[in-house]
Amino acid sequence: MKIIEKLLLLVILIFSIYSCEKHELLTDPSARLSFSMDTVLFDTVFTTIGSTTRQLKVYNPYKQRINVSTIYLATGNNSDFRLNINGIAGSKVDDLEIPARDSIYIFIELTVDPNGINTPMVVQDSIIFITNGNEQDVDLLAWGQDVHLINAEIIKTQTWTNDKPYLIYNSMLVDTGHILTIEQGTQIYLHRNSSILVYGTLIVNGTKDEPVVFQGDRLEKLYDDIPGQWGTIALLSGSENNVINYAEIKNGIAGFQVGEYDDDSNPVLIISNSKIENMSFTGFYAFGSTISASNSVIANCGTMAIALLKGGNYEFYHCTIANYWNYSVRITPSIVISNYFEYEGNLYVRDLENAYFGNCIIYGNLESEIGLAYEPEIVSFNYQFDHCLIKVNADSTDISDEIFFKSILINQDPKFISIEKLDFQLDTLSNAKDKGAIEVGNLFPLDLNQNSRIDDEAPDLGAYERIESNKKKD
């Protein structure tokens, strides 16, 4: 019995010592906190729009609890940064205790005031920690960018220039009868689910060296190639004379919607020297409209790269359609052509006057990248693939009729330079070299890179002409 009493006394003694250590306050002036990072970095933040939230973890590495007498922003209430310190919002918190071997979180956000210039500015501050008279700090560093903010606005005739980027929140609309002109080098950022709706006219005047870029507004490196970050550019009923040259449209849901399924107007789009890439749904989604596309790349879309529905009139010259989508399982061919569209039990039909693909590459990671669906007894269905490299299942697609398939290369790898890097220029061993129709090449003598495609035997297929170096190694 005495042994049990002694053991029990020993346990009580140990527990008492441990409890004292656990609850004792550390007052050593040399005690220092630990941090999950010594500098909190933000990617470029647009003015007037709050940043994403960053977090900082603050550790007490000791066996005793510690009292942080003050945590505060160095510039106080004038700071562009905002803090939430262990659940308390504000630029300063006093007497915050951290238990032994425990931690707290500080959440940091940022809003940058406009400065009226296009170049990014450096925004700096620091969080100061005073513990037992000992001062420590963690730096805050960001780059801010002033923008033109377009928030749910109806746009009349105007011109956007590259003086500073445009940020679209809650979508925007170009009014009927009005023209939005976007000049070379202009950067367009769209917030999540925001779109550009056009009932009037959209003119994009990019150049090879200064394209107009449409993309999402998440500027962290993680979002460089994430699709579905914004909506679409929709050319709707009554829209006319839309001309796009040298645009880069990336990381949205759909590059362009042209026309409406329940409307028989005929929106017109002429697009050249452009790239539509990384769309979670489709590159082009057209209903009974008119599209002329040349020297353009449509790549990596979650369903179709090009959907030509409910008839219309379409011409694609020297385009590269390359669909190697790998974010999810894709079962729809890259190109779908139909003279009807069915929605909620209603069938909308219209003549497919023409769907022409000349000197194009249509390739991807499915067994067949072309899908045809038509109502032959109701309306016409006219299409042709002329001097194209295509990927199809020859057992299920009849390519013997030259009215529809003329001088076709079937299932021959185009050998792009780098699918992973979205570089769809041709490798020197590409099967698409010199396989184009000369008369089509003469219509577009310069490729997407402004290289001549009429200086050799025949034009290459797709948007790029392969230019071999004539220099010999020493």
More confident residue, 242 or 80: 242
Regarding beta strands 103-110 and 81-85, do their DSSP bridges make them parallel or antiparallel, or are they unpaired?
A: antiparallel
Residue-wise DSSP of 249-289: EESSSEEEEES-TT-----EEEEES-EEEEESSEEEEEEEE
List helix spans (H) across 327-473: 438-443
Task: Check which CATH number belongs to the domain holding 58 and give it.
Answer: 2.60.40.10
Beta bridge partners of 426: 416
- Are 140 and 153 part of one and the same domain? no
| Domain end call among 116, 144, 172 | 144
Output the six-digit token pair for 375.
């109502």
- Are 85 and 173 part of one and the same domain? no
Least confident of 9-13, 170-174, 183-187, 326-330: 9-13
User: What is the C-alpha separation between 324 and 305, in angstroms, rounded?
Assistant: 10
User: What is the C-alpha separation between 229 and 243, in angstroms, rounded?
Assistant: 24
Instruction: Give the residue among 122, 175, 124 at the shortest CA–CA distance from 145.
Output: 122
Distance of CA 324 to the CA centre of its chain: 16
466 within some domain: no
Q: Average pLDDT, stretch 454-463?
A: 95
- Are 48 and 156 part of one and the same domain? no
For residue 122, the model assigns a pLDDT of 79
Distance of CA 26 to the CA centre of its chain: 50
- Are 264 and 348 part of one and the same domain? yes
Torsion of CA 227, 233, 235, 237, to 10 degrees: 90
Residues in the chain: 474
Inform me whether the pLDDT recorded for 474 exceeds 50. no
Mean pLDDT for all residues in the chain: 91
| Domain end call among 94, 114, 144 | 144
307 within some domain: yes
State which H helix or E strand residue 310 sits in: strand 304-317
For residue 141, the model assigns a pLDDT of 87
469 within some domain: no
157 within some domain: yes
For residue 17, the model assigns a pLDDT of 45
Inform me whether the pLDDT recorded for 473 exceeds 70. no
- Are 264 and 326 part of one and the same domain? yes
State which H helix or E strand residue 3 sits in: helix 2-23
293 within some domain: yes
94 within some domain: yes
**Whether the Cβ atoms of residue 343 and residue 469 lie closer than 8 Å to each other:** no
- Are 138 and 240 part of one and the same domain? no
Q: Average pLDDT, stretch 45-56?
A: 83
403 within some domain: yes
381-397 pLDDT, tens digit each: 999 999 999 999 877 78
- Are 85 and 231 part of one and the same domain? no
Inform me whether the pLDDT recorded for 12 exceeds 70. no
Instruction: Give the residue among 108, 102, 147, 106 at the shortest CA–CA distance from 124.
Output: 108
Domain that includes residue 97, residue range: 25-144
DSSP, collapsed to helix, strand or coil, labels residue 5 as helix
- Are 306 and 254 part of one and the same domain? yes
Residue-wise DSSP of 26-60: E--TT---EES-SEEE---EEBTS----EEEEEE-
* Amino acid making up residue 319: C
Inform me whether the pLDDT recorded for 37 exceeds 90. yes
Beta bridge partners of 150: 168
User: What is the C-alpha separation between 224 and 228, in angstroms, rounded?
Assistant: 12
258-269 pLDDT, tens digit each: 999 999 888 999
**Unique residue bearing structure tokens 């194009």:** 360
Identify the DSSP state of 397. S
State which H helix or E strand residue 14 sits in: helix 2-23
328-373 pLDDT, tens digit each: 999 999 999 999 999 998 999 999 999 999 999 999 999 999 999 8
- Are 88 and 165 part of one and the same domain? no
- The number of domains in the chain is 2
CA distances from 414 to 43, 115, 388, 469 (A): 37, 48, 11, 20
| Domain end call among 93, 111, 144 | 144
Instruction: Give the residue among 212, 245, 213, 247 at the shortest CA–CA distance from 230.
Output: 213
- Are 323 and 197 part of one and the same domain? yes
Please name the residues in contact with 260: beta carbons below 8 A apart, sequence gap of 6 or more: 236, 237, 287
Instruction: Give the residue among 277, 450, 443, 282 at the shortest CA–CA distance from 356.
Output: 443
For residue 400, the model assigns a pLDDT of 84
345 within some domain: yes
CA Rg, the chain, in Å?
30
**Whether the Cβ atoms of residue 131 and residue 30 lie closer than 8 Å to each other:** no
pLDDT above 90 covers a percentage of the chain that reads 76
- Are 58 and 181 part of one and the same domain? no
- Are 428 and 280 part of one and the same domain? yes
**Whether the Cβ atoms of residue 393 and residue 371 lie closer than 8 Å to each other:** no
User: What is the C-alpha separation between 225 and 238, in angstroms, rounded?
Assistant: 33
pLDDT-based confidence at 5, cuts 50/70/90? low
